[in-house]
Structure 1
Amino acid sequence: MVELAFSTNAYTRYDLPEAVRRIADHGYAGVELLGDDPHAYFPDFGDGDRDALLDALADTGLAVSNINANTAMGYYDDAPPSAFFEPSVIRADDAARQWRIDYTKRAIDLAETVGSPAVCLATGRPLPGTPPEKASDYLREALADILEYAEARDVEVGIEFEPELLVENTDEVLALIDDVGRDSLGVNVDVGHAAVYGEDVAESIRRSSGSITGIHVEDIVGGRRGKHYHRIPGEGDLDFRAIFDALDDVGYDGFATLELYTYPGEPDRAAREAYAELERYC
């Protein structure tokens, strides 16, 4: 049975323990932890931060659905307001790429500490001067290191595909998983990303059967080839009955995590209304 979780990346105006407690107030069974500033940017995330988080999780009884390590905005003093994936695991600069590998390992450490089954990782965009073929080589080299580390800690790594990234659709992520050939590598399916790319979301889920480490849920206006802007379910055009039926069909029994970082000024409303809209499907 699928349960609902909510990502703390909607609560960036609150510290991480307060975000966890607020999410619990809205009925969710799980919480996704933002592995980035201002919640768990790992170079600054110390023992006191970890202990305060563990206290909040114990107080609320929430399970952790995933560690979201897609971005590392805290790395830059002037990071843009939109999602930014640098330094990525496909960066040509060896030191920058290694920094991101080590950062992902810290996300895996947090997953082990809080009992999260997985972390998610975006590939990033090939930068000028790095052809996609070379970027793919960098990705596989980075994953070999990351997956060895994850497997020793019983944590899965889910690649989150997104339009315009190196891995941007279901075909590409499944080909990567098959090529790497390790059970610890899967896909974190973001339903909005599949829709914006032009895929049938339910079919993407069915094709990913057996490889799904987690699900990100949001609504999209326009659905197929719509604008990539995360909206509260019910405010867009996605067919959530079909999405949850597909999850049932493939036997997925993890969390569907609401990712509504687009509502930083009203995260409680977003959490409340999203839960009310989706609880009937669970």
Structure 2
Amino acid sequence: MVTLAFSTNAYTRSSLPEAVRRIADHGYAGVELLGDDPHAYFPDFGDGDREALLEALSETDLAVSNINANTAMGYYDDAPPSAFFEPTIIRADDEAREWRIAYTKRAIDLAEAVGSPAVCLATGRPLPGTPPEAAREYLRDSLHEILDYAEPRDVEVGIEYEPELLIENTDEVLELIDEIGRNSLGINLDVGHAAVYGEDVPESIHASAGSITGIHLEDIVGGRRGKHYHRIPGEGDLDFREIFDALADIGYDGFATLELYTYPDEPDHAARDAMAELEPFL
């Protein structure tokens, strides 16, 4: 049976412990932790922050569904208000790439500390001067180092694909998993990303059976080839009955996490309405 969780990345106006408590108020069984500023940006996330988080999790009895380490906006002093993937694990610059690998290891440390089954990671885009074939070599090497660190800690790594990234669709991520050949590597399947790329979402779910480390849920206006803007379920064109039926078909019994970072001014409204919309499908 699928269990609903909600990501703290909708609550960027709140501290991480407060975000956990507010999510619990809306009836979710799980919470995804944003591994970035302003919640758990690892260079600044100390022992006191971890203890405050563990206290909030204990109080609320929420399970952690995932550590979302896709972005690292805290790396920048003047980052504009948009999602940053840089620096990535496919950067040609050794120092920047190694920084990102180390950052991902800190996400794995947090996953181990809070009992999260997985962390998710995006590949980023190949930058000018780094053709895709070279970026893919950096990706392979980086992932093996990350997985060497994750496996003894019993944490899975889910690649989250997205249009225009090096790994941008279901076929590419499944090919990568086969190429790497390690059971600890899987897919953090974002249904909106699949839809925006033009995939049939239930088909993507069926194709990914056995490789899913987590699910991200949001609605998309336009469905296939729509615009990439995360909306509350019921406010777009995705068929969530089909999505939950597909998850049942493959026997998926993990977390499905609402990722509604597009509602920083009204996260409680987003959490409440998303729960009301999706609860009948569970």
TM-score normalized by structure 2?
1.00
CA distance in 2, matches of 1:17, 1:82: 23
Q: Are residue 228 (structure 1) and residue 225 (structure 2) matched? A: no
Residue 68 of structure 1 aligns with an amino acid whose one-letter code is N
CA distance in 1, matches of 2:124, 2:80: 15
CA distance in 1, matches of 2:79, 2:126: 18
Residue 141 of structure 1 aligns with an amino acid whose one-letter code is D
Q: Are residue 274 (structure 1) and residue 274 (structure 2) matched? A: yes
Report what 2:23 is aligned to. Answer: 23
- Describe the SS at the equivalent of 1:214: strand
Q: Could you report, residue by residue, the CA deviation over 1:76-129 in whole angstroms, capped at 9, with x for unpaired residues?
A: 012121211000000010000000000000000000000000000000000000
Report what 2:157 is aligned to. Answer: 157
CA distance in 2, matches of 1:195, 1:266: 25
Q: Are residue 256 (structure 1) and residue 261 (structure 2) matched? A: no
Residue 163 of structure 2 aligns with an amino acid whose one-letter code is P
Report what 1:202 is aligned to. Answer: 202
Report what 2:73 is aligned to. Answer: 73
CA distance in 1, matches of 2:168, 2:78: 26
Q: Are residue 42 (structure 1) and residue 42 (structure 2) matched? A: yes
Q: Could you report, residue by residue, the CA deviation over 1:16-39 in whole angstroms, capped at 9, with x for unpaired residues?
A: 000000000000000000000000
Q: Are residue 106 (structure 1) and residue 106 (structure 2) matched? A: yes
CA distance in 2, matches of 1:248, 1:108: 28
Q: Between the two proteins, what is the percent identity of the paired residues? A: 84
TM-score normalized by structure 1?
1.00
CA distance in 2, matches of 1:164, 1:16: 30
CA distance in 2, matches of 1:84, 1:248: 33
CA distance in 1, matches of 2:149, 2:281: 36
Q: Are residue 177 (structure 1) and residue 182 (structure 2) matched? A: no
Q: Are residue 14 (structure 1) and residue 14 (structure 2) matched? A: yes
Report what 2:213 is aligned to. Answer: 213
- Describe the SS at the equivalent of 2:189: strand
CA distance in 1, matches of 2:121, 2:56: 25
CA distance in 2, matches of 1:133, 1:66: 30
Report what 2:128 is aligned to. Answer: 128
CA distance in 2, matches of 1:172, 1:271: 32
CA distance in 2, matches of 1:218, 1:64: 19
Equivalences, count: 282
**Which runs of 5 or more residues in structure 1 are unaligned?**
none
CA distance in 2, matches of 1:129, 1:193: 26
CA distance in 2, matches of 1:269, 1:172: 35
The runs of 4+ residues in structure 1 deviating greater than 2 Å are: none
Residue 264 of structure 1 aligns with an amino acid whose one-letter code is P
CA distance in 2, matches of 1:78, 1:209: 40
- Tell me how large the CA RMSD over aligned residues is: 0.4
CA distance in 1, matches of 2:81, 2:141: 30
Report what 1:94 is aligned to. Answer: 94
Residue 251 of structure 2 aligns with an amino acid whose one-letter code is G
Report what 1:246 is aligned to. Answer: 246
CA distance in 2, matches of 1:124, 1:152: 26
CA distance in 2, matches of 1:179, 1:64: 29
Deviates more, 1:9-18 or 1:72-81: 72-81
